[in-house]
Amino acid sequence: MRRLPPLGAIEAFIQVARLGSVKAAATELALSAPALSRRVQALERFIDRPLFERRHQAIVLNADGERLLAQIAPVLDSLSDAVEAMTSTTEVLRLRLGILPLYASQQLFPRLGELRAAHPELHLDIDTGGHGVARLGEGLDAVIALAREVDPQLYARRLARDKVYVIAARRFLEGPNPITEPHQIRQLTALIHREMPENFTAWRVAAGVEDIEPAAIDYFDSGALLLEAAAQGLGVAFMHESQFQQARDPRLVHLFDINVESPYSYYFLCRPRALHQRAVRIFHDWL
């Protein structure tokens, strides 16, 4: 039987290749950076060729590294699945998912029947508490978060791009003094989600009213309550097109036909090592 390189060296190579960072890979594998580098170098000596190009503050796969990753990463993932299946005391797979309540109610829960039908063994523990990203690996396996930028040490998959919508009660558009021009924002209370403050700034710049202040600004930490406040006529909400469309609330209208890309997007986030967990990969691929 042909001799194989140490499994630890293979695991180190795959983590560095996926993360593009020795430091990040070392953190995932609970190793020091020098120890992880030695494992990668051991694999390179074993196959007698370099696998990475070392650049200033970066490490990237060369052609040999790309070819090796494509061949062995799926094998290691399959090996992890086999060990997990043999050591598990139950066939139930459980995913601890952090998620924002509005995204959960509008976009996840309407599709959960589809997920259960495709993967009856997968069960979700839903967590709508705050600071989900900070709790990855410590109570949460993955999160669906709203973010402008993401930590490069995390695995991130953008779920969709979105536009900023100004959402208001129908009477704001159909009443006796309709709101039809952006400069009328000075008459209104702006309703803003605490996790999306830059939506208001981006919209004002696009609308050419960055020097105009609203009558007041009210902040919310709940998207559902923000939509309800807008429906009650308490102000105009600066939210996402998808949130407006999914609400399907006849009390609400979209003001101003101004095309503004949101600085924020929903992301699926997890620690790269979590992708080895079958529950995380099933949910990721389905999502």
The CATH number covering residue 123 comes to 3.40.190.10
Give yes or no: residues 49 and 186 share one domain.
no
Q: What is the mean pLDDT of each run of 10 residues along the chain (287 residues)?
A: 81 85 82 89 91 79 89 78 61 89 93 93 90 85 92 90 95 90 95 94 94 95 94 96 94 94 95 88 93
Q: Which residue has the tokens 């309800």?
A: 228
Number of domains forming the structure of the chain: 3
Q: Per the domain annotation, does 209 fall within a domain?
A: yes
Q: What is the DSSP string of 16-67?
A: HHHHS-HHHHHHHTT--HHHHHHHHHHHHHHHTS--EEEETTEEEE-HHHHH
| Cα 112 from chain centre | 18
Q: Which residue has the tokens 């560095």?
A: 16
The CATH number of whichever domain residue 82 belongs to comes to 1.10.10.10
Residue-level pLDDT at 88? 56
Q: Per the domain annotation, does 2 fall within a domain?
A: no
Task: Report helix, strand or coil for 58.
Answer: strand
Give yes or no: residues 115 and 72 share one domain.
no
Give yes or no: residues 64 and 12 share one domain.
yes
pTM attached to this predicted model: 0.68
Can you give the residue range of the structural domain that contains 175?
Answer: 164-263
Amino acid in position 287: L
Residue-level pLDDT at 84? 63
| Helix ranges, 93-170 (H) | 101-103, 112-118
Give yes or no: residues 174 and 254 share one domain.
yes
Give yes or no: residues 17 and 65 share one domain.
yes
How many other β-carbons are positioned within 10 Å of the β-carbon of residue 266?
Answer: 21
Give yes or no: residues 124 and 107 share one domain.
yes
Residue-level pLDDT at 166? 97
**Cβ-count burial 238-249 (b if 16+ within 10 Å, e if not):** bbbbbbbebbee
Residue-level pLDDT at 71? 87
Residue-level pLDDT at 75? 80
Q: Per the domain annotation, does 183 fall within a domain?
A: yes
Residue-level pLDDT at 54? 79
